[in-house]
Structure 1
Amino acid sequence: MEHDYAVRDVRLGQRSSELWRWVRRWYHSLPMHLRFAIVGGIVSLFSMILIGAFVNQRIESAVVRNSAISAAVYMESLIAPLSQDLADGNELSREQRANLEEILARPAVRERILSVKIWKDGGLVAYASDPDLIGQKFEPKGDLQQAWQGDIFAGFDELDHDESEGERALGVPLLEVYNPIHSIRTGEIIAVAEFYQDASELKDDLRFARLTAWAIVAALAGATFLALFGIVRAGSRTIETQRSELEQRLNLITLVGLQNDLLRLRIQNASERFSALNEQLLQRIGAELHDGPAQALSFANMRISAWRNANGPEEADLILKALNDALGDIRGLARGLVLPKLEGASIAETIRRAAEAHTERTQTEVLLDGGDKNDGNMRPGLPQLICLFRFVQEGLTNAWRHAGGIGQSIEFGIQDGMLVVTVSDQGSGFDPNATADTGRIGLAGLRERVQSVGGAFEIDSDPGQGTRLTMRLPIHERAV
């Protein structure tokens, strides 16, 4: 049984939690002015209730007290002179009682005062409109005890005490007033007069005052809420309009960004195609140099050699030397212009071919550090391979020309999706800032080549510290 109760409590808790989450989602989905209307309406309602209750309580307290003071002053002027016997005893003389009954029987008094009791200390009834109560003793109430302290107390009596049976029989709302009676000689309190006033008219006045107060509070609260709601609604509309404009601008910016990305990709593809076409042009130029002028010079060299061997003029030696030099230059230029077949090659193969070609041409040593083997096995597209080969080729050529080939090394690897290749030497180095405008065509062209395929090019060199050329190239596998 306890288990069933526990399961039921858990289910109720889950349902309450789900309901609360649904309410929160629904509330946050509303526009700002509707959320304000809900919260502001609740706050205004509670504020109106609290203010209305406070104002009504103050009105009732003030009206009752004023009525009580007015009646107390009136009654004290009538009862006090006739109650001085109570200063020395616990009951009135017959003469004073007769005089008091005569006064209370007057029409002007009888219309206002329906019942009177005069209390002695300790709850003893010294006089009462109901003669049967005279001489009886009752437990003093808090109101009576408060009057013995010198205060005038007034309030609508519930008539639930034993001594109030006669007043209950009247069947009308009564205002109960306790008024201290002082001794004319000493000023001390000698008794407390309790009298009941017909409060029918007072009840009606209070009811009207309450309704009026509630109406005024409700009107003020409603006007305040409507004014604030109007301000919030106007602000909400402004915010919604601005939000809509911002969304439109954001969509426009996003569209422009997409168009820029598309244009950037087109430019990069165009640069890559241009690079490939440029390489093809260089290959054609190299092939033409090799097959054209180089062949003609080679043939001329052979004929002049034959002429010299046949005892030709001594100038033939000079001519032959010049032709051999020209032929060597043309062949070297052709080899530099013509790329090896790179289509489908891996990163490591491309770097190794460039290094081997440099070693064969310059007879210098190049150290290779390929890092992770898997990095070197990647096979990017042809534009990236061409850029990689030319970067290594130009970097090693600069190391040979300006550093004598001392400490030539190549490091490469993949870092965060980027191919990072570094060509370094241990030569005399230079100041990149000082030589930025001196027309280093090789480095400037190399930077442009790397940037044309979306890469980054860096130079790290100082006098006496050698040189490091670094290329960072976005890399991805070639689509098959």
Structure 2
Amino acid sequence: MLASIANLSIANQFLIAASVVVFGLMAAVSFYTASQVEQSALKAAGSAGAARMQTSIAPLIRRGAGDAFLFDDQFRRDINSLVGQGPKGQRITNVKIWLADGTAVFSVKAENAGGAVMFDELKAALAGETIVSRTIEEKHGYSQVEKDEALLEIYAPLLINVDGRVILAGEIYLESNMLEEQISRSRAISMIAVFLVSVPMLSLLYLIVRRSGRVIDEQRQTLRESLRNAIDLSIENNRLRVMADNARVEAGKLNERILDQIGADLHDGSLQVLTLVKLRLSDLLSADDLPQSTRSALGKLLDLVSMTLEELRNLSAGLILPELEHVCVREAIELALKRYFEITGCDVRLEVGDDIDLRVHDLSICLYRFVLEGLMNSFRHARGNRQMVRCVFIRGRLYVSVADFGARQVLSSAKEVNRARLGKVSQKRRIRSFGGRMRYFPRPTGSIAVAILPINV
């Protein structure tokens, strides 16, 4: 049942819950009102019964010899004349008289006469109080008719001596039809009143909740559509991101191949031509019959060709890649340091973590270029500084740093400034092509270039 209720709309769930609460409260209010009416009616009946005892029964009691009370035939006839009197539904059906010790000395129906019994209601009446009870709670002997009709019992002082002590207590039985009618009428009126108030209130609240429920359903549908669109966009974005990553990696591969091809073309083409030109100029300068002005011009031209040839050789050496197909990251960095030593003749300190065993061809090329470019920049602009390369793997990220220690780099010309800027840009592009980032930290005693690459192990 709870599952069925949970599947209902918010408005219907509210209607069920509110109906249970309101009608439960209605029943509670009606029973409380009936209880209060019953208490009030009992008190009124008790006061009226005590007054009837004092006005109708007490004057009939006569004393005999020795202050004994006479409950003779005359007294019985007088009392019997009172039975059946009163308004309909409140007539007297029986009269009992009790002594101070609990002895029943008189009863219209002559039951239990002469028997001594003491109970709470009688004690209260002998103490001067008026008590109203019902025959449904058996306190002493009752006839079957009295039990079935649930009559009212009124206990009250009947005679009081000069000391203020009750010497006789009276008990009269009254019909309770009118009281029951009053209680039923009060319960019905209270239930009708609560119903008439509750139904419009519930109807108004139901309409409000139903309207709010429709708004919530519409918003829920809108949110579901937005969520569906967001999921579709997320899937499309992931697809485009994967495509962009693949395109970036392919572009990096193509760029490295182009650089390698450029280096090979320079080495096999332009460098050989310039070498032949240098040899030819050297042959011309070795002739003995050259004028001094021609010899001087040829010498300057030879120096220029030699300088150009050296620059092209350096460029070609940096562009041509070694065999990096099956090497790990550590071996790629070691190859970069070896190539740097071949070009410059300078040793570099290397620190690599023992837990690094990555074999990704494109990543090896990227780190080879990054380390070699960083070392060459340091060699060109801070020659004489001590150099160190460090590689560590921490929390899913690979950190590769190229540092030099000694003197701060000094760029003497605009050409060197532009060349250094282009070198840093190319390094950053290589690192970004793998989803990483590069940081450069110039210091008074050198510089540090750090590449941070995310690695999915």
After the TM superposition, which residues 263-278 of structure 1 pair with which residues of structure 2 at under 5 Å, given as runs? Answer: 263-278=240-255
1:311-350 residue pairs with structure 2 within 5 A? 311-313=288-290, 314-315=295-296, 316-350=298-332
Q: TM-score, normalised on structure 2?
A: 0.81
What does 1:33-112 align with in structure 2 at a 5 Å threshold?
43=21, 47-83=25-61, 85=63, 89-92=67-70, 94=72, 97=75, 100-101=78-79, 103-104=81-82, 112=91
Q: Aligned pair in 2 of structure 1 residues 59, 102: CA closer, same or farther (>3 Å)?
A: closer
Q: Which residue of 95, 103, 121 corresponds with 2:100? A: 121
Moved more, 59-68 or 353-362: 59-68
Superimposed CA distance per residue, residues 349-369 of structure 1 (whole angstroms, 9 cap, x where no aligned partner):
221121111111111111122
Shift of 1:194: 0.5
- Give the deviation of 1:393 after TM superposition: 1.2
2:340 is aligned with 1:363 = no
Q: Is the 8 A contact 1:76 1:179 kept in 2?
A: no
Aligned partner of 2:124 in structure 1 is 146
What one-letter code is carried by the residue in structure 2 that aligns with 1:260? N
Aligned AA (1:199)? S
**Shift in Å, 1:219:** 6.2
Aligned counterpart for 1:414 among listed residues 376, 393, 418: 393
Change in Cα spacing, 1:132 to 1:220, as seen in structure 2 (3 Å) is same
Partner in structure 1 of residue 413 of structure 2 = none
Check whether the contact 2:157–2:168 (CA below 8 A) recurs between aligned residues: yes
The residue that corresponds to 2:258 in the other structure is 281
Deviates more, 1:355-364 or 1:325-334: 325-334
Aligned residues between the structures: 442
Question: Structure 2 vs 1, CA of residues 239 and 82 (structure 1 numbering), >3 Å: closer, same or farther?
Answer: same
Residues 69-468 of structure 1: pairs in structure 2 closer than 5 A:
69-83=47-61, 85=63, 89-92=67-70, 94=72, 97=75, 100-101=78-79, 103-104=81-82, 112-131=91-110, 134=113, 136-158=114-136, 160=138, 163-165=141-143, 168=145, 172-183=149-160, 188-214=165-191, 216=193, 232=209, 234-313=211-290, 314-315=295-296, 316-372=298-354, 375-376=356-357, 378-382=358-362, 384-429=363-408, 440-464=421-445, 466-468=446-448
RMSD: 3.7
Q: Is the 8 A contact 1:364 1:405 kept in 2?
A: no
8 Å contact kept, 1:84–1:183: no
Deviation, structure 1 residue 455: 0.8
CA contact (8 A) 2:159 2:166 kept: yes
**For 2:206 and 2:166, how far apart are their aligned partners in 1?**
59
Aligned partners of 1:280 and 1:371: how far apart in 2?
A: 29
Q: Which runs of 5+ in 1 are unaligned?
A: 1-22, 432-437
CA distance in 2, matches of 1:131, 1:24: 62
**Aligned equivalents of 2:148 and 2:398: distance in 1?**
104
Instruction: Provide the secondary structure at the position in 2 that maps to 1:155.
Output: strand
Partner SS state of residue 69, structure 2: coil
1:23-38 matched pairs, under 5 angstroms? none
Tell me by how many angstroms 1:157 deviates: 0.8
Output the CA distance in 2 between the equivalents of 1:232 and 1:148: 62
Deviation at 1:196, TM superposition (A): 0.9
Distance change (3 Å), C-alpha of 1:242 and 1:468: same
Q: Deviations over 1:396-424 (max 9, x none)?
A: 12222343253311122333333321112
Aligned residues of 1:90 and 1:126 also touching (Cα < 8 A):
no
Query: 3-state DSSP class of the match of 1:150?
Result: coil
8 Å CA contact 2:275–2:309 kept in 1: the answer is: yes
Deviates more, 1:221-230 or 1:136-145: 221-230
Aligned to 1:66, what secondary structure does the other structure show?
helix
In the TM superposition, residue 391 of structure 1 has moved relative to its aligned partner by 0.8
SS in 2 for 1:408: strand
Q: Which residue of 1 aligns with 2:414?
A: none
Residues 451, 155 of structure 1: CA spacing in aligned structure 2 closer, same or farther, 3 A cutoff?
A: same
For normalisation by structure 1, the TM-score amounts to 0.78
Could you say which residue in structure 1 is the equivalent of 2:453? 473
Q: Is the 8 A contact 1:84 1:184 kept in 2?
A: no
2:353·2:391 contact (CA, 8 Å) conserved in 1?
yes
**After superposition, what is the alpha-carbon deviation per residue over 1:41-89, rounded to whole angstroms, capped at 9, x for unaligned?**
6655654554443333222222232233223323322123334749x84
In structure 2, distance between residues paired with 1:171 and 1:309? 153
Deviations 1:327-380 (A, max 9, x none): 22222222223333333432122211211111111111111222126x24x221
Tell me how far apart the structure 2 counterparts of residues 282 and 179 of structure 1 sit (CA, whole Å): 123
Identity among equivalent pairs (%): 27
Residues 410 and 422, structure 1, Cα contact 8 Å, conserved in 2: yes
In the TM superposition, residue 472 of structure 1 has moved relative to its aligned partner by: 1.6
For 2:422 and 2:14, how far apart are their aligned partners in 1? 69
Distance 1:417 1:116 in 2: 102
1:209/1:160 CA distance change after superposition, 3 Å: same
Tell me the CA shift for residue 103 of structure 1. Answer: 4.9
Letter in structure 1 aligned against 2:104: V
Amino acid at match of 2:51: V
* 5+ residue gaps, structure 2: 411-416
Kindly tell me: are residues 448 and 225 of structure 1, through their superposed partners in 2, closer, same or farther at Cα, counting changes over 3 Å?
A: same
Change (3 A) 1:275 1:405: farther
